[in-house]
Amino acid sequence: MALAALIAAYHESGEPGHLRATLPLAGRTVIERQARLAASAGASPVIILVERMPAALSAAIGRLRRERVPVQVARSAEEAADHLDQYDRVLLVADGAIAPAAAHARMLAAEDIAVLTVPDGAYDELYERIDAGTRWAGLATIDGAMLRETAAMLRDWDLQSTLLRRTLQAGARHVLAEGAVAIVDGEADLAALERRIIEQADGGRGSWADWALGPVERFFTAALMSSPMSPALIGLAGALLTGLGAAAFYVGWYWIGLVKLLAATPLDGIAARLARLRMQDGLRQSWWSYLLPLLAAAALVVLAHRLAAAHGWGMILVASMTLAFLFALAVETEKARPRGAVLLAERKGMIWLMLPFAAFGLWHVGLAVLFAYAAASFFWAQSEVHAASPARQD
């Protein structure tokens, strides 16, 4: 049984000149987030039901198509029904309704038709009343046959409300919403929802450098979220700065090289936050995410090669061993996050750790400290991951 989504995008909002679907949300529009949530739940196609196509809605649909979200536009209920088979399962999304991914998963886990509900007292008239104590939270699951039957008898009735009523009459299961849900109609609804979305874009667990750079990354993510700049472009800028840092080390411009490496450290975090904010999957598979650590490793080797002229070939050995320990550390922690992982060696933290030694001209000492840090991190992770189980009693 195939899964499709039907998103209503035709109600005027409380903000002049905007449909609910085109209200700005986290740097994009409400319809883009709805479509991405539906697609991430497995819906294909994602049918957007429209009555008119203002420029903002057309631009939003164009962005979704460029990013390969499987959207299709329907101008009527009949046209929407023609896109589906009667046996398809359909995720109905109300105009302006935003629910977390977990809510989509719970709805789809229900074996039969279902509606997402919220208690009556805490929600206003934007949430359609189901009974004396319950309102609709904007998600429902139906089948293609019900959509076809409703489209055939719709006349001048509103499709979304009619589908809801027919779903309830058919004995739909009520699924109580968990977490934040919203039906947006104006600035007040958007402000609270946008704050939650930005908070959810944080990466969660990371290294101590990620925590330290967090405020900078959050500031620039908020500044860039409405811009056309893509996460891939920001990641490319990080890789380019890191490569330029390695080139500066090669010609002996140590400070210029270090400054470029330091400037690059928040960029991959900004790119990751922006991608999560826009629900753009596949960031970890971007080519720059593989190139960035390779360029950082090259910068370390080039710096060691330059320092070898004054401090001996041991600098190159120290750099090589540092990289070997970092690689072994990545292998050890790939499947299990050890205790104290936030303090372990990684690229960004090691670049910042080099700064105090560079300030006193002790570049060679800094390399030795990085080696010791990488080695200690590896042995700690290895002891945690491979901790011996208690001996069995005979």
What range defines the domain where residue 73 resides?
3-189
Q: Dump pLDDT digits (tens) for 18-40.
A: 899 999 888 889 999 999 999 99
For residues 239 and 290, the model is more confident at 239
Same domain for 290 and 337?
Answer: yes
H/E stretch holding 5 reads strand 3-8
Number of domains, the chain: 2
The last residue of a domain, from among 132, 156, 189: 189
195, part of any domain: no
At residue 158, φ and ψ (nearest 5 deg) are -75, 125
243 falls within a domain: yes
- pLDDT tens-digit series, residues 153-211: 887 788 999 999 999 999 999 999 887 889 998 887 887 787 777 777 776 668 899 99
Across the chain, what does the average pLDDT equal? 89
The pLDDT score that the predictor gives to residue 17 is 83
pLDDT of 206: 80
**276 pLDDT band (50/70/90 cuts)?**
confident
- To the nearest whole percent, how much of the chain has pLDDT over 90? 64
Q: Are residues 31 and 170 in the same domain?
A: yes
- Which among 361, 371, 364, 347 is positioned nearest to 245, based on CA atoms? 347
Task: Give me 247's structure tokens.
Answer: 């080139």
What's the pLDDT score for residue 313? 94
**pLDDT score recorded for residue 203:** 65
Is 349 in the same domain as 269?
yes
Give the CATH number for residue 358: 1.20.120.1760
Whole-angstrom Cα distance, residue 176 to residue 178?
6
Assess if residue 334 is contained within a domain: yes
pLDDT digit string (tens) for 54-91? 999 999 999 999 989 999 999 999 999 998 988 899 99
CA distance 89 to 173: 15
Helices (H) and strands (E) in the chain, counts: 15, 12
| Residue 132 domain flag | yes
Residues 116 and 256 in one domain: no
pLDDT at 385: 81
Same domain, 224 and 327: yes
197 lies in some domain: no
The DSSP annotation for 151-171 comes to HHT-TTS-HHHHHHHHHHHTT
pLDDT, residue 114, reads 93
Shared domain for 215 and 179, answered yes or no, is no
Q: Both 368 and 315 in a single domain?
A: yes
**CATH code assigned at 102:** 3.90.550.10
Query: Which tokens in the block code for residue 176?
Result: 């109580």
Indicate the residue among 161, 189, 217 that finishes a domain.
189
- Long-range interactions of 153-162: CB distance < 8 A, separation 24+: 154/77, 159/8, 159/49, 159/77, 159/80, 160/8, 160/92, 160/94, 160/95, 161/128
Residue 196 belongs to some domain of the structure = no
Are 161 and 271 within one domain? no
pTM (predicted TM-score): 0.79
183 and 222 within one domain? no
Query: 349 near 209, Cβ under 8 Å?
Result: yes
- Supply the pLDDT for residue 288: 78
* 29 shares its domain with 120: yes
| Residue 279 and residue 100 in contact, taking contact as beta carbons nearer than 8 Å | no
